[in-house]
């Protein structure tokens, strides 16, 4: 339609205008966000980060309507709604590295706890968190909260890596912290050993329903077998 043609031309004009000077035509930045989300959503993040002249609530509504999750996260962060932004990363994107980058940028210790609580919900996300979180958080916060019995692939190697990363960042870690961390790791390893022993015992019991032993005898008997 004619209206659609003019709307597209308006988008092209405002794009060129703001590219030359992002501070001009401040009253049209809200309109440009709507047009960019419609015609060139891949460029919307650039506009959101470069402009200070748009309504955060309006931009959030546009991003929600078009399902632009990363853009929603940015706007929510700018609004100060870090909890909701982190929840979007977790629930909609499932991206551990992005979640860590977001929490680092927010500088909010409470967000680390919420991220760890979510990640410990499955072995896969726990492993991903172990791979990425080294150097950002005291490993004790994570090691102590790993559920006993949870099977995490390459757990020993991952724990070794996270401890090494943390030591590089925090050279001043005290003896008590190192001791507690070692104890936490040992507790996880002991739990794994108990789990493997129980599995071995169960498998052996199914394979050998009856166990026979011989009692040494005397004389010509040579002993007898007992079940």
Cβ count within 10 A of residue 193: 10
Q: pLDDT band at 173, cuts 50/70/90?
A: very low
Helix, strand or coil, per DSSP, at residue 33: helix
**DSSP symbol at 152:** -
pLDDT category at 79 given cuts 50, 70, 90 is: very high
Listed in sequence order, the residues at least 6 apart from 6 whose beta carbon sits closer than 8 Å to its beta carbon are: none
Task: State the pLDDT at residue 223.
Answer: 54
Which of 116-120, 132-136, 214-218 shows the lowest per-residue confidence on average (mean pLDDT)? 214-218
**Res. 175 pLDDT band, cuts 50 70 90:** very low
For residue 24, give the DSSP letter: S
DSSP track, 155-221: HHHHHHHHHHHHHHH-TT--HHHHHHHHHHHHHHHHHHHHHHHHHHHHHHHHH-SS--EEE---TTS
Give 76's pLDDT tier (boundaries 50, 70, 90). very high
Q: Sign of dihedral through CA atoms 56, 45, 39, 24?
A: positive
pLDDT of residue 210: 58
Cβ neighbours for 179, distance < 8 A, ≥ 6 positions apart: none
Q: How far apart are CA 207 and CA 184, in angstroms?
A: 35
Provide the residue count of the chain.
Answer: 227
86/188 Cα distance (integer angstroms): 28
Q: Which tens digits make up the pLDDT trace of 102-133?
A: 998 888 888 888 898 888 888 888 888 888 87
pLDDT band at residue 15 under the 50/70/90 scheme: very high
- Residue 183 has what pLDDT? 60
The pLDDT, as a whole number, for residue 73 is: 95
Using alpha carbons, select from 96, 58, 90, 91 the residue that is nearest to residue 75. 58
Tell me how far apart the alpha carbons of residues 101 and 110 are, in angstroms, rounded to a whole number: 15
Candidate from 27-31, 95-99, 203-207 with smallest mean pLDDT: 203-207
Question: Looking up tokens 């070794």, which residue turns up?
Answer: 160
Indicate whether 85 pLDDT > 90: yes
Average pLDDT over residues 168-189: 56
Euclidean distance between CA atoms 198 and 86, whole angstroms: 39
- List pLDDT tens digits, range 25-75: 888 999 999 999 999 999 999 999 999 999 999 999 999 999 999 999 999
């Amino acid at each position: 339609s004619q209206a659609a043609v003019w709307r597209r031309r308006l988008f092209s004009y405002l794009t060129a205008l703001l590219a030359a000077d992002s501070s001009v035509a401040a009253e049209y930045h809200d309109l440009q966000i709507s047009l960019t989300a419609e015609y060139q959503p891949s460029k919307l993040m650039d506009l959101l980060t470069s402009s200070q002249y748009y309504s955060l609530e309006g931009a959030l509504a546009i991003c929600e309507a078009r399902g632009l999750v990363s853009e929603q996260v940015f706007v929510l962060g700018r609004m100060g709604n870090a909890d909701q932004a982190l929840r979007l990363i977790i629930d909609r994107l499932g991206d551990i590295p992005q979640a860590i980058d977001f929490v680092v940028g927010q500088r909010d210790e409470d967000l680390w706890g919420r991220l760890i609580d979510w990640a410990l919900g499955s072995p896969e996300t726990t492993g991903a968190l172990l791979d990425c979180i080294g150097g950002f958080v005291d490993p004790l916060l994570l090691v102590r909260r790993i559920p006993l019995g949870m099977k995490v692939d390459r757990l020993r190697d991952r724990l070794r890596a996270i401890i090494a990363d943390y030591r590089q960042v925090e050279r001043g870690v005290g003896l008590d912290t190192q001791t507690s961390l070692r104890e936490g790791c040992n507790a996880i390893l002991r739990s794994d050993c108990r789990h493997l022993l129980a599995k071995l015992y169960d498998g052996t019991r199914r394979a050998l329903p009856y166990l026979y032993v011989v009692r040494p005898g005397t004389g010509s008997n040579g002993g007898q077998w007992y079940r």
